[in-house]
Amino acid sequence: MSCGGGGSSSGSGASTANHSASSTAELTTAGLDINNYAMQSLPFGLITYATSPYIIYNAGGDFLALTISNFSCTTVVNAVTVPCSTAVPLVTPPTVGGTVTSIQQTTLLHNPLMQINGLNLSASTLVNTLYSGSELDVWKFIATNSNGLSIQNAGLTITCPTSSANPPNIEPNALTTASANTNLATYINTCLP
């Protein structure tokens, strides 16, 4: 995957395949040397690339790429509505349409950290939730609107995101899967005590 203003994006995990509402989302991780994934690491940053079918965020340390079917994206610059691709990075939330079919998180060196396939999410709602800056809210939206979020990595430890609404001394719970196909959607609401 190549990320950046005006660049192109391609590679595994950037599929434009349509997913039906009955599909089950699958979370996979790769490139992790200690076999865990901290949901708190979901990168938040400005949209630095936005053209069909991708919206890519650059958080300074990681990239977050959304693959969107039926893609549309506009923003307002000097009281004129323009395509997002002509105005990145975007400081304010754009008007986005379409359906998010996959999410991929990579390092700046394009090494994959996390990927979710089989999504069928409102791109508008997800983009606005990402702009809110709450990892917990983003994961709740993904998990509860995906017909299940199945962890594909056997033995993977998932660390829940913290919530800014809770005192910093409240630690998130952890989920350790004994096998693949653990459903994260049934767990996400118990991340924080």
Cα 16 from Cα 8, distance rounded (Å) = 14
Per residue of the chain (193 residues), what is the pLDDT tens digit? 444 333 333 333 333 333 334 467 888 887 655 678 888 888 888 899 999 999 999 988 899 999 999 999 999 988 899 999 998 998 878 999 999 999 999 988 888 889 999 999 999 999 999 988 788 889 989 988 887 788 888 888 888 887 766 666 667 777 888 778 888 877 777 776 6
Cα 146 from Cα 95, distance rounded (Å) = 22
* pLDDT value at residue 176: 81
Amino acid (one-letter) located at 18: N
Cα 26 from Cα 108, distance rounded (Å) = 23
Q: What is the largest CA-CA distance in the chain?
A: 54
Given a contact cutoff of 8 angstroms between Cβ atoms, the answer to whether 25 and 114 are in contact is no
Given a contact cutoff of 8 angstroms between Cβ atoms, the answer to whether 142 and 183 are in contact is no
* pLDDT value at residue 169: 65
* pLDDT value at residue 94: 93
* pLDDT value at residue 137: 87
Cα separation values, 96 from 30, 45, 142, Å? 29, 17, 17
Cα 125 from Cα 94, distance rounded (Å) = 11
Q: Is the link from the previous residue into 93 a cis peptide, with omega within 30 of 0?
A: no
Cα 116 from Cα 12, distance rounded (Å) = 12
> Model confidence over 145-161: pLDDT tens digits?
887 788 888 888 888 88
Cα 80 from Cα 152, distance rounded (Å) = 45
* pLDDT value at residue 165: 63
Q: Which long-range contacts (CB under 8 A, 24 or more apart) does 14-17 make?
A: 14/54, 14/65, 14/67, 14/102, 14/104, 15/67, 15/101, 15/102, 15/117, 16/53, 16/67, 16/69, 16/101, 17/101
> Model confidence over 67-86: pLDDT tens digits?
999 999 999 988 899 999 99
